[in-house]
Amino acid sequence: SSRQERRFPTSLLAAQFDFLRHRDAAFRIAAANGIRSMIYSEMLAAERVPGSGEWWNEPYWKGEWPAPVTAVALPKLIGLLNDDDFEVRMAALGNFRSAGPKAAPYVAALRQLLRDDGDVDNSQVGRRRDVLAQAALLGRLLALTGKKGSEGDAGRAMKVRNVIAGIFERIGPEARDAIPDLIPLLQDIAPPVRSSAADALGYMGPFAREAIPALEVAAQDKLFGDRGQIAPVTALWWIDQEHALVVPTYQEILNNGTSAAKKDAVGRVAAMGLRATDWSIPALIPLLDNRDLQDAVIESLCWVGVESPEAVEAVLRTLSPQLEAEATGRSVSVVLLYHFPRLIEFARGPGA
C-alpha cells in the first residue's frame, strides 16, 4: 500500500471488517486475527509501551488514528461468537482478551457463551478421590491432549472455558458479574482452566470475596500436584492479604515444592511487591543457588527486596560475575538489564 495508506490505514480496517463476513471460515479467522493485532497495538500505544514493530503503531504514537480500533471492532466481532465454525469463534474471542477492560460491556455475552459452549456441568472433577475417579479423570485428560482437529467436543469446550476465564481476568473487577460462573471452574477437570479461573477471581480483588470458600478448597487440593495450588492461593492473597492459608502454602511450596511449582510461585511473588517482603525473602534467598530458578528469583527479589539488606546483598553477590562482565562490555542477562536497576534505584531502609 502507499505511504499515505500506511499513515492512515482506515481502509485496512474496513477490509478486515468485510472479511469477517466472508463465506470461507479461513478468511474470517484471518480477519479476526488481524484485528486482534491492531487492538493489541492500540492497547500498547495507550499505555505508551513500545510496540513490537508493527507499522500501524505509528499513527497511534502520533495521535493520527481516525477512530479507536477497539470501540469500532468489538461490536462487529460479537456476532462471530455465534459463528458455526469453532475456530472462528476462538479467533473472535482472542480480540476480547486483547481488549482487556474495554471488553467489559460484553461480559453478559461472554457468560452466555461459557454456558452454551463451555460444558461446565460436565467439567467438574467432583469430590471423589478413589482409584476409579482418578482413572476416569486420567482418561478424560488424555482425550483432551489429542491432536488438533481431533480433540472432540470435550477438548473444544475446555478451550472455551479457559479462554473466557482468561478474558474475565483481563477485564478485572468490571467482570465481577461473572464470579458465579468462575467458581465452578475451580474444580474443573483441566488444570489450565482451574488456574485461569483462580487468576480471574484474584484480579477482581475484594469484589470476589464470595469465592473465598471455593478458593480455600482449591488451594488445598493436590489432585494435580502442588502447582495446582498456586493460582488459588494467590487469588486468596489478592482478595484478602491476611488470609491464613497464603503464607504457609507459599512457604511450603518455595521450600519443598516441585521445580515447576517453585518457578510459578517465585514469579507470582514478584507481583505482590513489598507486601510480601517479610515472609517471602527467607524462602527466596536459598533458591538463588538453583541455576534453573536463579533469574526468576533475582527478578522477584528486585521487586520484594528493596527494603531488605539481606535481599540486596544476596542479589549483588549472585550477580557479581555479570556485573564484572558488563563493566568489560560483554553481554549480560535480561535480569541485569531490566530488573537489577530497579533494585538499585528503589533500595532503601537500613543498609541501603
**pLDDT over 90 at 124, yes or no:** no
Q: How confident is the model at residue 3 (pLDDT cuts 50, 70, 90)?
A: very low
Average pLDDT, the chain: 82
- Other Cβ atoms less than 10 A from the Cβ of 21: the count is 12
What is the arithmetic mean of pLDDT over 172-182?
95
Q: Which comes out higher in pLDDT, residue 349 or 86?
A: 86
Rounded-to-integer distance, Cα 88 and Cα 297, Å: 40
What is the arithmetic mean of pLDDT over 218-224?
91
For residue 42, what pLDDT is reported? 77
What percent of the chain is modeled with pLDDT above 70? 79
Please work out, in degrees rounded to the nearest 5, the angle formed at the alpha carbon of residue 201 by the alpha carbons of 198 and 205.
135
For residue 60, what pLDDT is reported? 43
For residue 284, what pLDDT is reported? 95
**pLDDT over 80 at 52, yes or no:** no
What is the arithmetic mean of pLDDT over 127-139?
48
**pLDDT over 50 at 146, yes or no:** no
Q: How confident is the model at residue 143 (pLDDT cuts 50, 70, 90)?
A: low
**pLDDT over 80 at 166, yes or no:** yes
Q: Which comes out higher in pLDDT, residue 154 or 268?
A: 268
Cell numbers linked to 69: 480500533
**pLDDT over 80 at 232, yes or no:** yes
Rounded-to-integer distance, Cα 198 and Cα 177, Å: 15
What is the arithmetic mean of pLDDT over 41-52?
60
What is the arithmetic mean of pLDDT over 117-121?
82
What is the arithmetic mean of pLDDT over 133-159?
61
C-alpha separations of 69 from 10, 16, 82, 102, 207 in Å: 10, 12, 22, 11, 30
What is the arithmetic mean of pLDDT over 280-292?
93
Cell numbers linked to 92: 473472535
Residue 282 near residue 265 (C-beta atoms within 8 A) = no
Tell if the pTM clears 0.85, that is, is over it.
Answer: no
